[in-house]
Amino acid sequence: MSYKIVRRPHVDDSHLPSSLHPLLKQILASRGVMPEQCQLELKGLLRPNTMKGQLEAAAIIATAIEANKSIFIIGDFDADGATSTSVCMLALRMMGTRKVNYLIPNRFDYGYGLSPEIVDLAQQQGAELLLTVDNGISSISGVERANQLDIPVVVTDHHLPGERLPEAAAIVNPNQYGCQFASKAMAGVGVAFYLMTTIKTELKTRGWFAQKHIPEPNLASLLDIVALGTVADVVPLDANNRILVEAGLKRVRAGQCRPGITALLDIAKRNPQKAVASDFGFAVGPRLNAAGRLDEMSLGVELLLCDNIMKARSMAAELDGLNQDRRELEAGMQHEALKMLKAFSVHEASIPKGLALYQDDWHQGVIGILASRIKDKYHRPVIAFALGENGEIKGSARSIKGVHMRDLLDRINTQVPGLIIKFGGHAMAAGLSIKADAFDVFKQHFETTIDEWITEELLTGEYKTDGELSAKFLEQETADLLKFASPWGQEFEEPCFDGEFTIVQQRLVGEKHLKLVLETTCGRRLVDAIAFNVDLNVWPNTQTQRVSLVYTLDINEFRGNTSLQLMVKQITPVNDYDS
């Protein structure tokens, strides 16, 4: 579908430093940036003590460290879970913890979070304290089981809480009721990192480092992992998250990151010295996620913990292979899903406002990506289901702006008690389980509820752009400036422009990508552009001379040479009579 173009209004940018490039100054001002947010220095981070539960959790864990108790970290099987687990493992070791281990539930055997079965497994392995990362806020039964076994649980999470909280020894979650922490957008790894800094402060106050002759650790050395998890989890890049991500990227560019991250960047053919947030989001994150999708996330955790670059490269190669397998699975599943929806494709208006899809041979680890792809194509909320165990199917949901997915599932759960076995998540993404024979009933209620919630306006996708870029700014220097100006990402979008161009050359590369040479409508400048995965029924199109583009600026590197290249998000023919 074509997205409408909405230009950001020109705003007053006089409050920002005059030293900023005028284009960048307007871009930052249009995103609400304040003067103090331009530098993205660590001293600008929100204080940990404003996050509810921090002090209580730090005291519990510090006491366990002093008593030499066995601490088990219970992670999640995605990139946020893997990075959260790794940050805690490394930080606790740096602080002199002698007994610390981790468990990542296999999604196929145990499912998500701190389940009673995972608690029993941890207890069998000698756990005396459980610390959840990127999960736990909905683990009511798991915490109950731990309490029965007299194993205290400290929960760190960022997912939205339900009406009932687990009876944990302490809960750290910026989204829990009564938490005054100003950033509600933190990823699980950010919450875990904050807790580690508070534990360090608590241990220092108790004289632990001096007593044990342990050098006071520099936890900022873990910010490359924090940055990776934050970007990979696609949380909004508010000011606090941008500080965390920028600090981590600086370490990567300076060659001070973990060997595992270096190895993943290398195998993805990304230059660590020029790393930006999108490298984490589109190259490193998917490879790390592949472990949890198709195998066990422990491989991803071990890669991040690894200190040896040769071993790290070997594990990165294994993850790269898994990612290739994931892409093949995804392509097949997407083909099947589009076949299901083919009946609607002729008359787009007849497509349900919410799509619930299920096929019993779909892979449970890939349905989240499938839901995201279909959501992007049809611009409406999507839930894709795959077969689980015990007659259940598991769904992964992706939503669009204006439709809060977790709240929507909560509404269905309230209206039809028992239909959903369990659910949880965010506004834009959620997971759930239902009985396989209840799919048709769920689909009906999902579509009905969506119809009540959504408007036609929300179903119209849009590209929000920074307007038309004048020819004088169509330079490689501008692309360089914008690329490294800030971590761009979710809700802090990379600068994007729109405008009309004349086609000088057009050809297909890689079978489905359109390579273009364009001429600006004013200034008579030539510029290269590429549009990925174009509609082959439309392009190449020798009848089209002018096009309207939505694009971002990029730098193309080929045989040691660099040049400006437009990365085309949308290309639309412009007829002469439209002018």
Helix (H) or strand (E) holding 384: strand 382-387
What are the φ/ψ torsions at residue 395 (nearest 5 degrees)?
Answer: -115, 145
Question: How distant, in Å, are the alpha carbons of 13, 150, 283, 331, 446 from that of 119?
Answer: 54, 11, 34, 36, 33
What would the pLDDT profile of 70-126 be if each residue is shown by its tens digit? 999 999 989 999 999 999 999 999 999 999 999 998 877 777 789 999 999 999 999
Instruction: Report pLDDT digits (tens) over 470-526.
Output: 888 999 999 999 999 999 999 999 999 999 999 999 999 988 999 999 999 776 789
Mean pLDDT (the chain, rounded): 94
- Nearest to residue 173, comparing CAs of 162, 182, 163, 184? 184
CA dist list (Å): 498 to 31, 550, 572: 18, 4, 11
Predicted TM-score (pTM) of the model is 0.92
Ranges of beta strands (E only) in 110-158 are 129-132, 153-156
Supply φ then ψ for residue 456, to 5 degrees.
-60, -30
Please state whether beta strands 170-172 and 129-132 pair in parallel, antiparallel, or not at all (unpaired): unpaired
| Token reading at 354 | 């919410």
In order along its 579 residues, the chain shows pLDDT tens digits of 678 999 999 999 999 999 999 999 999 999 999 999 998 999 999 999 999 999 999 999 999 999 999 999 999 989 999 999 999 999 999 999 999 999 998 877 777 789 999 999 999 999 999 999 999 999 999 999 999 999 999 999 999 898 899 999 999 999 999 999 999 999 999 999 999 999 999 999 999 999 999 999 999 999 999 999 999 999 999 999 999 999 999 999 999 999 999 999 999 999 999 999 999 999 999 999 999 888 889 999 999 999 999 999 999 999 999 999 999 999 999 999 999 988 665 455 578 999 999 999 999 999 999 999 999 989 999 999 999 988 999 999 999 989 999 999 999 999 999 999 989 888 888 999 999 999 999 999 999 999 999 988 888 889 999 999 988 899 999 999 999 999 999 999 999 999 999 999 999 998 899 999 999 977 678 999 999 989 898 999 989 999 999 999 999 988 778 999 999 999 999 975 444
Domains of the chain: 4-34+463-578 (2.40.50.460), 49-318 (3.90.1640.30), 335-453 (3.10.310.30)
